[in-house]
Structure 1
Amino acid sequence: MNENTFQFSWFQQSDAGFEPLPLAQSLWRSDQMHGVAVSGLLARAIERAVRDAGRDELVPARYHVDLFRPAMMTTTTASARIVREGPRLVLLDAVVEQDGEIVARAGATFLAPSAPASGEVWAAPDDRPTPPPADRLPTPGEHHVPWFASEQPWSDSFGDHQNAGRHQTWQTAVPIVLGEECTPFQAVASIADATSMVTNWGSAGVEHINTDIDLALCRTPDSARLGLRALDHVASDGIAVGTAEVFDSTGPIGTATVTALANTRRTVDLSGGVEARGSA
């Protein structure tokens, strides 16, 4: 195992908690972590709390993260607790802490699957996103730089996609903790932070920083390979709301929404390309 492979995770576990690895570094500031890593750690804590409660039959249906304080590149802890448990659902809260202060929090709802409802309900027209062509991607299970499509076709060249087109991305999730496999829920919870990339990335770069992540799912992803496609972007007076479709190799699985603040003093300019570490 070479050094690059050894470091290919967001965190390494230690006696004190979790130590962020170089991949967790934000594009906004070198001493801060990006939301992909923070959200992934929260999802890991939530998923473990569900497992410890013996409720593995439940599936994640709602996941919300508040990113209200910058998470720094320093020792981090994460914990989760069950708030309400019933026959068909479990509600949980989770926090990420640094130096005794909460820097992010999450809430999640896990639901029990059942037989489908019999009635017919309106659904959006059948214009659904699909992954990039399989023959251009690495073998499933191999990690790769995130792919994007916009006004330009699918590619892993960030510079090609700094435009005002409708953005979408296809990614293989990075393991949250070194030595652990990334579960499908951890994958979608972490990649959901890239909603800010596909909805806030325009001709001048990424000019908004998201303060939260909202994820709603109808089923668990089929793997740790997932995509996001912009559905909408609305903005007023420096506040933006972006919504994206979430999809896997077999079709759509839900939506993700981010609320963001204009951050033009620290615009992430990707026109020259970047060594991807996750989302901004």
Structure 2
Amino acid sequence: MTGCYYRRLPADGGDPAFGPTDYTRSNWDLEIQHGSPPLALLTKLIEELSAGSGLRIGRLSLDILGAIPVAPVRARAWVQRPGSRVAMMAAEMVADRAVARVTAWLVAVSDTTDIASDRYRPLVEGPAAPIPAAFADVSGYFDAVSWRPQDPEGHSAAVSWFRPMAHIVDTDPTTPLQRLAAVVDCANGVGAILDPNRFFFMNTDTVVHLHRLPTGSDFALRARASVGPDGVGVTTAEVFDKTGFVGTAAQTLLVRRR
């Protein structure tokens, strides 16, 4: 990996502080952060808080509460609802006010290997197709991501493989779940059915359900958007690693003509 999305800053007695790098910059506006790096950072804080608890994350829900600036932010995690079998943890990113919040349901782990099942067969990566023209020359976040669109033939929805190329914070070790969090917000771009030169379709949230934890560094999103008649849309996606199906993602979209 090369570089990072965030660097630690002096906390000055308050919540941990982080400086976002250029790799967090959004394709919609270079002065705001793409949704995936905040999700990855807040997921990291929740994973660190839950270490040793015997619980693992089954759902991550990112709510974008406002424009997330490419400027120093503070972030913290806490236990929202304690429990030995089911617990909720939350993490929040604050600039001048709260700009992003992740809530996570964590569930006690046990051995269910004998009854494990996947809804979909694994996806096999083929040769990469060209990146969509609207994203081909975008800098910032996409400078730190390997994006490999797949030939749509034979697929019911668009498919792309991703690999994050940067650490989440400094050179800290990055878990597979954090790496997935660093790309899953891209489902909105993968499943796009509107021309981004003519429309904004920004997501307000990203909700990920995981029936098993991901492995490795490469993840596929099979995504498709639906747009309603009143300026609201939804993108849904199936999420895969190289081993197979790991879960689903969904995003609410604000749709506006440029």
TM-score tier, shorter chain, comes to 0.7 to 0.9
Q: Which residue of 1 aligns with 2:158?
A: 167
Aligned CA distance change for structure 1 residues 60 and 119 (closer, same or farther; 3 Å)? closer
1:161 is matched with: none
TM-score (normalised: structure 1): 0.75
Q: Note the C-alpha offset of 1:238.
A: 1.1
In the superposition, the TM-score normalised over structure 2's length comes to 0.81
Between the aligned partners of 1:109 and 1:21, the Cα distance in structure 2 is 29
How far apart, CA to CA, are the structure 2 residues paired with 1:115 and 1:21? 40
Paired position in structure 2 for 1:114: 110
Deviation at 1:118, TM superposition (A): 7.9
CA distance in 1, matches of 2:190, 2:161: 11
Alignment of 1:92-241 (within 5 A): 92-99=89-96, 101-116=97-112, 124=119, 126=120, 128-132=122-126, 145-151=146-152, 166-173=157-164, 174-203=166-195, 207-230=200-223, 233-241=226-234
- The 3-state SS of whatever aligns with 2:207 is strand
RMSD: 2.8
Cα distance 1:182–1:95, how it changes in 2: closer, same or farther (>3 A)? same
CA deviations on 1:244-274 (whole Å, 9 max, x unpaired) are 0000011001000000101432xxxxxxxxx
Partner of residue 158, structure 1: none
Distance in 2 separating the partners of 1:87 and 1:133: 45
User: Could you tell me which residue of structure 1 aligns to residue 83 of structure 2?
Assistant: 86
Q: What does residue range 54-73 of structure 1 map to in structure 2 within 5 Å?
A: 54-55=52-53, 57-73=54-70
Question: Secondary structure at the residue paired with 2:169?
Answer: coil
User: Sequence identity of aligned pairs in percent?
Assistant: 29
- Partners of 1:195 and 1:182 in 2: how far apart? 21
Change (3 A) 1:200 1:108: same
CA distance, structure 1, for counterparts of residue 167 and residue 227 of structure 2:
32
Q: Determine helix, strand or coil for the equivalent of 1:43.
A: helix
- Aligned twin of 1:258: 251
- Structure 1: runs of 5 or more not aligned: 135-142, 154-164, 266-280
State whether residues 121 and 244 of structure 2, in contact with CA within 8 Å, keep that contact through their aligned partners in structure 1.
no
Number of aligned residue pairs: 235
For residues 169-202 of structure 1, the C-alpha deviation after alignment (integer angstroms, 9 at most, x for no partner) is: 2111232112112211212222221121122254
What are the ranges of 5 or more consecutive residues in structure 2 without an aligned counterpart?
12-16, 129-143
Q: Secondary structure at the match of 2:220?
A: strand
Does the residue aligned with 2:123 lie in a helix, a strand or coil?
A: coil
| One-letter amino acid matched to 2:95 | Q
Question: Partner of 1:13 in structure 2?
Answer: 8
Which is richer in strand? 2
Check the 8 A contact 2:127/2:150 in 1, yes or no: no
Task: Please state how far the C-alpha of 1:236 moved relative to its aligned partner.
Answer: 3.1
